[in-house]
A and B are shown apart, each in its own frame.
Chain A
Amino acid sequence: MTEPVLSVRDFNVRFSTQDGEIHAVKDANFDVMEGECLGIVGESGSGKSQLFLAATGLLAGNGRTSGSVLYRGQNLIGMPLNQLNRIRGSKITMIFQDPLTSLTPHMRIGEQIIEALRIHTQMGREEANRRAVESLELVRIPEARRRMRQYPHELSGGMRQRVMIAMATACGPDLLIADEPTTALDVTVQAQILDIMRDLRTTLKTSIVLISHDMGVIAAMADRVQVMRHGAFVESGTAEEIFYAPKHPYTRMLLDAMPRIDHPERPGHETLVPLPDRDAKPGLLDVDNVKVHFPIRVDGIIPKYKPLRAVDGVSFTLKEGETLGIVGESGCGKSTLARAVLALLPKTAGTVVWMGRDLSESNKDELRKLRKEFQIVFQDPLASLDPRMTIGQSIAEPLRALEPDLSRTEIRERVREMMEHVGLDPAWINRYPHEFSGGQNQRVGIARAMIVRPKMVVCDEAVSALDVSIQAQIIDLILSLQHTFGMSILFISHNLSVVRQISHRVMVLYLGRIVELADRESIYADPRHPYTRALISAVLIPDPRKERAKPRVALPELPSPMDTRSSLTFLKSKRIDNPDAEQYVPKLIEVTPGHFVAEHDAV
């Protein structure tokens, strides 16, 4: 039996707030063994992050702890700060969720790594510098020597997270605590980061605590799993036990709620409205060669402008009652496309025809009337509601604007009716958004969009900010609303598993262009484009055996959209080697009926 690196005993964390005391962690007892990866899984507010922040003395000012946290026999709780600082950052290191804000913005990344090395070891500057470069190379950062002199904002999110890992591993720690290390990243980048962490485990033999809300991440990495809910552990066991024989209902619920790319239908949940014959349905929306270019200023005494091609020639059609999923990494132009289609953003070129009417020819008044027919649901439910309006007022607002003839009582009736449809108690009509959870606020957002009975709803990452269990409920809600009202949906998401459950057809975007478009069965069963394949292979499956056996497809880091060569990343044979040249535009080829793939080099 190996020794525990960390033993947590009867550990409690409490916060005193104006609303009374919050008991964030309740009697935690567990060990982290040498060389193992312990997964801590739980939804937001379960206390999983606070537990480890408290254990390493990083608690906010109003927090108090009791119990003990033993690192190789030494109690970290109550240890004098200068002694704790010898362990923190050298023996026990941490990686945090948000790589964008977790590095000091005004220090070069090399300096930040060297700093950690210099205070924990006797190394001179030269040697520390060399070690820092090595640690960057270990996390596969290309051109490590040059990157040492860069600032965090000059790196992509994935690169920054690698820097965090390099910084956390440079001193050769015993224990690495990774708090949601991949949550803020794209799936492809997430796969790379997990891969790096897996390698580091074998080379450095470091124990890892992996904190995550994502059962897929846990399935990919953890040997043992602790499930946390409302500050307490509800179940613990090996990864096999937790995933294949979960005992606690909460664990089972977490697993059931996970959207799975390998199982499109979830047992016991709402199913997709069948759309047997697409061709028989009347067309609603016809998007033809839409482009949105933003002028980006290139500095000089007389500034010049270069176009950023956010959306660069996208065409598709949407039928009545159909859901089209739009997927792609951040920066691929999916939100911009949706906004251009809804005429919330001026197009550079192309036409959008709504039920036979060209929207670019409609004037402001006509467009305003048409808005009744297409509505949008945004990502951040709380931020997209006016905090000073009751939810009833928020839901009623589109009605007031678009159907001014309704009387007050009629509006009230419609609002109450819609609240029931979206699973909100009509008695809450006078409450404010801050009184609700994220899931409930998203129901308000959906009710607000549905109140005018639109023919089409755009869901822009509508479930991305929610916990998995809530996410599953909102997906069910959207599906059941589609059963009732039969609206079409443009469902934008970076999450391929979610898109699979909710969409009839799926469109994959890469740097503002379609690379593949097909019905959901073919795109997941028979992806043709190398980008689609890489994207699908990067999606994590909450099943340790399947997940670990899966082949991985590497993908190049997303190139600069300002460089026109980037658009031909997958068709290098036709590329002109000049960053400003007009490049060849890959054609969409129909490989089987309804399955379109952009031209690409042979794989």
Chain B
Amino acid sequence: MLSYAIRRFLGAIPTLLVIITLAFFMMRVAPGGPFDGERRLPPEIEANIMAAYDLDKPLYQQYFLYLGRLAQFDLGPSFRTRDFTVTEMIAAGLPVSLRLGLSAIVVALFFGILLGIFAALRQNKAADYSVMTIAMIGITIPTFVTAPLLTLMFGVYGVSLFGLNLSLPVGGWNDGALRNMILPVTVLALPQIAVVARLVRGSMVEVLRSNYVRTARAKGLSSYRVVTRHALRAGLLPLVSYLGPAIAGLATGSLIVEQIFGLPGIGRYFVQGALNRDYTLVLGVVIFYAALIIVLNLIADILYRVLDPRVRYE
């Protein structure tokens, strides 16, 4: 297993290199640069700045300089946010995005798996159809619709039930207070619940029809035991492959949700960086994101093996 992991890591290096190269040159193709402002800088100052950031050198030299620094795990200084390195900015935004994303995934897994199993056990009955219809709606409504709607309901109008005030803050991080997390996490989790429920239902329906589940039932096991011990593991396998990219996506911050709720996560930096042509910041976030996906996919593959002993590392 260790040798498999090592081989996978080595195999990821060329992938990363391709991503870095593409991102580097695509950023440069975009018109404008980090220091183009409303007012033109005096030429001498601009030349000085360009020289300070090596921007006066030919593009290929800049590329190799960047790679050289990257090999020393240095993502470089931010071009626009003075006195901050990219590493520092990611380190500042990551905890927020990570906490948000992981909470959303945990919530999505809990409800999604539960609903998926529930629907599979009542296949083609009313309960199944209603769960799947709601799931379909959950997938089709984008977050930039659910977020303002929930904000309106719980923030602006302030819903109260049985005399309980259910209004919630509509934005801000507030050091990660639970009340501030509820709305963004819900918005992020809703479509994921739907996707997870559909995945789990699909595979569980198949597993419940399999021969070994019939054997388990013939052994006289209770339905609960048949599901938890014999069916569930195989039923969750497709979910594992989905989770790698899904966690990476959520953890590195949903751009939209972070913008709408005004949360200081990585997503916001990414958008700002791209708009401001903050080359190093954008590249740093892209590389970080790619590395995270690679690592999470590897973990998913190893987890796959743990769940299904038949899978060989190849």
A residues sitting closer than 8 Å to B (CB atoms) are 53, 56, 58, 61, 81-82, 84-90, 93-94, 96, 98, 101-107, 115-116, 119-120, 151, 153, 164, 167, 297, 299-301
CB nearest to B10 among chain A residues: A301
The reply on B314 being an interface residue by CB < 8 A is yes
In whole angstroms, how far apart are the Cα atoms of A190 and B216 in the complex?
Answer: 24
The reply on B308 being an interface residue by CB < 8 A is yes
CB < 8 Å neighbour of A299 from B3, B123, B222? B3
CB nearest to A88 among chain B residues: B220
The reply on B19 being an interface residue by CB < 8 A is no
In whole angstroms, how far apart are the Cα atoms of A85 and B224 in the complex?
Answer: 12
Known: A61-B123, A101-B211, A115-B229. A89 touches B308 (CB 8 A): no
Contact residues in B for A94 (Cβ distance below 8 Å): 215, 218
In whole angstroms, how far apart are the Cα atoms of A589 and B236 in the complex?
Answer: 57
Contact B215 A87 (CB under 8 A): no
Contact residues in A for B308 (Cβ distance below 8 Å): 105-106
CB nearest to B237 among chain A residues: A106
CB < 8 Å neighbour of B218 from A82, A93, A101, A297? A93
Known: A58-B214, A96-B211, A96-B215. A105 touches B310 (CB 8 A): yes
Considering only residues 219-258 of chain B, those with a C-beta below 8 Å from chain A are 219-223, 225, 229-230, 233-234
In whole angstroms, how far apart are the Cα atoms of A120 and B6 in the complex?
Answer: 46
In whole angstroms, how far apart are the Cα atoms of A540 and B113 in the complex?
Answer: 50
CB nearest to A105 among chain B residues: B310
Contact A102 B214 (CB under 8 A): yes
Considering only residues 196-217 of chain B, those with a C-beta below 8 Å from chain A are 210-212, 214-217
Considering only residues 111-155 of chain B, those with a C-beta below 8 Å from chain A are 123-124
CB nearest to A300 among chain B residues: B3
In whole angstroms, how far apart are the Cα atoms of A297 and B312 in the complex?
Answer: 11
Determine how close the nearest CB of chain A comes to the CB of B165; give it in whole angstroms: 46
Smallest CB-CB A-B distances: 8 pairs: A89-B220, A89-B219, A88-B220, A101-B211, A85-B220, A301-B3, A94-B218, A102-B211
Contact B314 A151 (CB under 8 A): no
In whole angstroms, how far apart are the Cα atoms of A98 and B210 in the complex?
Answer: 11
Known: A96-B211, A103-B212. A115 touches B219 (CB 8 A): yes
Contact A299 B219 (CB under 8 A): no
The reply on B179 being an interface residue by CB < 8 A is no
Known: A101-B211, A102-B211. A153 touches B309 (CB 8 A): yes
B301-314 interface bits toward A, Cβ cutoff 8 Å, 1 = contact, 0 = none:
00000011110111
Determine how close the nearest CB of chain A comes to the CB of B11; give it in whole angstroms: 12
Contact A104 B219 (CB under 8 A): no
Contact B220 A299 (CB under 8 A): no
In whole angstroms, how far apart are the Cα atoms of A42 and B4 in the complex?
Answer: 50
Contact B314 A297 (CB under 8 A): yes
CB nearest to A111 among chain B residues: B229
Contact A116 B123 (CB under 8 A): no
Contact A105 B219 (CB under 8 A): no
Determine how close the nearest CB of chain B comes to the CB of A342; give it in whole angstroms: 29
In whole angstroms, how far apart are the Cα atoms of A103 and B7 in the complex?
Answer: 33
In whole angstroms, how far apart are the Cα atoms of A307 and B218 in the complex?
Answer: 42
CB nearest to B212 among chain A residues: A104
Contact residues in A for B4 (Cβ distance below 8 Å): 299
CB < 8 Å neighbour of B223 from A81, A88, A93? A81
In whole angstroms, how far apart are the Cα atoms of A301 and B9 in the complex?
Answer: 12
In whole angstroms, how far apart are the Cα atoms of A145 and B217 in the complex?
Answer: 26
Determine how close the nearest CB of chain A comes to the CB of B312; give it in whole angstroms: 8
Known: A58-B214, A106-B307, A299-B4. A87 touches B221 (CB 8 A): no
Contact residues in B for A89 (Cβ distance below 8 Å): 218-221
CB nearest to A101 among chain B residues: B211
CB nearest to A61 among chain B residues: B123
Contact residues in B for A104 (Cβ distance below 8 Å): 212, 215-216, 229-230
Query: Can you show 30 pairs from A to B with CB atoms below 8 A apart?
Result: A58-B214, A61-B124, A82-B222, A84-B220, A85-B220, A85-B221, A88-B217, A88-B219, A88-B220, A89-B219, A90-B220, A94-B215, A96-B211, A98-B211, A101-B210, A101-B211, A101-B212, A104-B212, A104-B215, A105-B309, A105-B310, A107-B229, A115-B221, A116-B219, A119-B220, A151-B309, A151-B310, A299-B313, A301-B6, A301-B7
Determine how close the nearest CB of chain B comes to the CB of A117; give it in whole angstroms: 10
Contact B310 A153 (CB under 8 A): yes
CB nearest to A164 among chain B residues: B215
Determine how close the nearest CB of chain A comes to the CB of B166; give it in whole angstroms: 41
Contact residues in B for A164 (Cβ distance below 8 Å): 215
Contact residues in A for B220 (Cβ distance below 8 Å): 84-90, 116, 119-120
Considering only residues 6-39 of chain B, those with a C-beta below 8 Å from chain A are 6-7
Determine how close the nearest CB of chain B comes to the CB of A249; give it in whole angstroms: 35
CB nearest to B125 among chain A residues: A61
In whole angstroms, how far apart are the Cα atoms of A415 and B302 in the complex?
Answer: 54
